[in-house]
Amino acid sequence: MEDLLIWPPEIEHLIELYMQYLRVEKRVADLTLDHYFSDIEQFVAFMIAEGKRSFAEIDHLAIRTFVGRMAKEREKRTIARKVSALRSLFAFLHREGVVERNVAKQVHLPKLERRLPNFLYIDEVTRFLEAPDLTTPLGLRDRALLELLYASGVRVSECVGLDVSDLDMSLGAALVFGKGGKERYVLFGGQATNALKQYLTEARPQLWQKGPGGESHPLFLNKNGTRLSDRSVRRIVDKYVYQVAGMKKISPHTLRHTFATHLLDHGADLRVIQELLGHASLSSTQIYTHTTREHLERVYTKAHPRA
Active-site residue identified among 155, 210, 262, 300: 155
The verdict on whether 13 is a catalytic residue reads: no
Of 18, 150, 240, 288, catalytic: 288
Do 70 and 82 contact (CB within 8 A), yes or no?
yes
The pLDDT value recorded for residue 73 is 63
Percent of the chain with pLDDT over 70: 90
pLDDT digits (tens, 9 = 90+) for 205-234: 999 999 888 878 999 999 999 999 989 999
Q: Which of 179, 184, 217, 234 is catalytic?
A: 179
Catalytic residue (choose from 82, 141, 257, 279): 279
- Greatest mean pLDDT among 2-16, 109-123, 215-229: 215-229
Q: Are 155 and 279 in contact (CB under 8 A)?
A: no
Categorize the per-residue pLDDT at 170 as very low, low, confident or very high, splitting at 50, 70 and 90: very high
Is residue 279 flagged as an active site residue? yes
Lowest model confidence (mean pLDDT) among 98-107, 244-253, 291-300 = 291-300
Q: Which contacts of 235-238 are long-range, i.e. CB under 8 A and separated by 24 or more positions?
A: 236/142, 236/145, 236/146, 237/146
Which of 107, 93, 31 lies closest to 56, judged by CA? 93
CATH number of 122-300: 1.10.443.10
- Least confident span in 134-143, 221-230, 254-263: 254-263
35, 184, 217, 253: which one is catalytic?
Answer: 253
- Residue 155 annotated among the catalytic residues of the structure: yes
The CATH-assigned architecture of domain 4-106 is Orthogonal Bundle (1.10)
Whether 236 shows a pLDDT value over 90: the answer reads yes
| Contact indicator for 44, 8 with CB cutoff of 8 Å | no
pLDDT tens digits, one per residue of 286-305: 777 665 555 566 667 777 77
| 179 classed as catalytic | yes
Please check the confidence at residue 2 and state whether its pLDDT lies above 60.
no
Nearest 5 degrees, angle CA 299-CA 304-CA 307? Answer: 95
Instruction: State the greatest distance between any 2 C-alpha atoms of the chain, in Å, as a whole number.
Output: 75
Closest CA to 230 of 29, 62, 16: 29
The domain segmentation of the chain, as residue ranges, is: 4-106, 122-300
Q: Which DSSP string do the residues of 215-274 spell out, in sequence order? A: S--BSSB-TTSSBPPHHHHHHHHHHHHHHSTTPPP--HHHHHHHHHHHHHHTT--HHHHH
Q: Say if residues 128 and 240 touch (Cβ distance below 8 Å).
A: yes
Q: What is the DSSP letter of 280?
A: S
